[in-house]
């Protein structure tokens, strides 16, 4: 891993992107930011704009309409960036795998660095995933 990527892990700013989720994963992501789970103790901060983001938290099953937007947004993230797929839908589209509107899973569209399974994943699981990702990138695992 490059120097740049290691440096930004001190305080990775996350951007939360929903590609057509049912909102449950999004609620769990927001839970992580509350004082109870407090993902800020790992330096994570929710970025308001994708141009400030280091990590993309992606939920949802990537439907045909949002895939176009997803690609456009991925081009705007300052590189290097990390992508985390949160929830069953972002991993394999879950129950929507045969849907006419969800043709391709997320990791066939953009490179994904970490997967957090669950429908929805608990905030603890999201925290564990985030910590594992930081450890993997910084080489302290």
For other proteins, the binding residues (CB under 8 A) are: 64-65, 68, 92, 97-98, 100-101, 103-105, 108
Q: Which is nearer to other proteins, 24 or 92 (CB)?
A: 92
For residue 4, the cross-strand partners are none
Q: Which is nearer to other proteins, 46 or 109 (CB)?
A: 109
127/107 Cα distance (integer angstroms):
21
DSSP run (H or E) holding 72: helix 64-76
**Concatenated DSSP letters for 81-140?**
-EEEEEHHHHHH-GGGTT-TT--S-GGGTS--SEEE-SSSPPHHHHHHHHHHHHHHHHT-
Q: Least separation, in Å, of the C-beta of 1 and other proteins?
A: 25
Q: Least separation, in Å, of the C-beta of 83 and other proteins?
A: 17
Q: What is the dihedral of CA 12, 58, 129, 110, to 10 degrees?
A: -90
Q: Least separation, in Å, of the C-beta of 117 and other proteins?
A: 12
Taking alpha carbons only, the member of 9, 42, 30 closest to residue 86 is 30
Q: Least separation, in Å, of the C-beta of 22 and other proteins?
A: 17
Q: Least separation, in Å, of the C-beta of 104 and other proteins?
A: 6
For residue 57, the cross-strand partners are 16, 84
Q: Which is nearer to other proteins, 19 or 54 (CB)?
A: 19
Q: Which is nearer to other proteins, 6 or 108 (CB)?
A: 108
Q: Which is nearer to other proteins, 119 or 131 (CB)?
A: 119
């Amino acid at each position: 891993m490059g120097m740049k990527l290691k440096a930004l892990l001190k305080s990775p700013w996350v951007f939360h992107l929903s590609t057509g989720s049912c909102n449950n994963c999004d609620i769990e992501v927001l839970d992580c930011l509350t004082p109870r789970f407090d993902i800020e103790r790992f330096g994570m901060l929710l970025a308001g704009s994708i141009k400030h983001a280091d990590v993309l938290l992606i939920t949802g099953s990537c439907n045909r309409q949002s895939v176009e937007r997803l690609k456009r947004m991925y081009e705007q993230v300052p590189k290097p960036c990390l992508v985390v797929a949160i929830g069953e839908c972002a991993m394999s589209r879950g129950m929507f795998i045969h849907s006419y509107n969800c043709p391709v899973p997320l990791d066939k569209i953009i490179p994904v660095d970490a997967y957090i399974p669950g429908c929805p994943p608990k905030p603890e699981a999201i925290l564990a995933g985030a910590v594992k990702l930081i450890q993997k990138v910084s080489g302290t695992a």
